[in-house]
Structure 1
Amino acid sequence: MKEALKIRTRKYAADCWNLCKKFPISREYNAYCSQLIRCSSSVGANYRAACRAKSNADFINKLKIVEEEADESMYFLELFLEVSDKEHIEIKRLHKEGNELLSIVVASIKTMRNRNHKSES
């Protein structure tokens, strides 16, 4: 599962990067593209860091960063849907993938928190 998610988050970052290559070069698009590339790549980078966590608490903290970055990626994809008249199919696909990654991460956080509470009891 961990390796599959590492691959999936890396593909997500690459796909977001490839999407950004399709937009015109302008101050406005460049700002949004830079943000999307940064936060989408941070999803995978921070997931990898979570996989090397030193404790359950460290794992949860790192996954919370993944959660934030996935949500931020979705925000910029939503902005692209509003400001651009191109690539809507790809933007929606990436938004769906971001939402699925977010759901996986949130479920993992809940699972770890439940395990921690059970072990404390």
Structure 2
Amino acid sequence: MDKKFDLEDRFVDFAAKIALFCKELPNDFTGQYYGNQLLRSGGSAALNFGEALGTNTNKDYVYKASLTLKELKESRINIKILNRIEYGSYEIKNSLLNELEQLIKIIATIIKNKIP
């Protein structure tokens, strides 16, 4: 299987897991605020990665991949905040953080290798 499609599937799975996680957060102001932020940044990372796959130049690819990286890092901080305030399933948050760390390393490496 082509690695790009494997990575695309990982981003799709990640965004779906984020959406399902956010659905289960408490329905108070804090849960809604951080849930909405996480839903946007996690989904945006996947969508920006999809856009990166459709670019025509290395410069465009690096730009879209950089946006992907930014959204992943935002998601990581958001989940750490949710951890600190003990919102959401501990096991799911740890699983999401693990996947985030791996995706961040992968995208950072791709960007580094694409920059001349």
Asked if these proteins are the same fold (TM beyond 0.5), I'd say yes
Distance 1:86 1:60, change over 3 A: closer
Distance 1:39 1:5 in 2: 18
Aligned to 1:77: 79
Distance 2:26 2:58 in 1: 44
- Structure 2 unaligned residues grouped into runs of 5+: none
Q: What TM-score do the two structures reach when normalised by structure 1?
A: 0.90
User: Could you say which structure has the larger radius of gyration?
Assistant: 1
CA RMSD after TM alignment? 1.0
Is 1:61 paired with 2:63?
Answer: yes
Shift of 1:86: 4.5
Distance 1:20 1:57 in 2: 34
The number of residue pairs the alignment matches comes to 114
Distance 1:61 1:13 in 2: 20
- Percent identical among aligned pairs is 24
Aligned to 1:46: 48
Displaced runs of 4+ in structure 1, greater than 4 A?
A: none
Aligned to 2:11: 9
Distance 1:37 1:74 in 2: 12
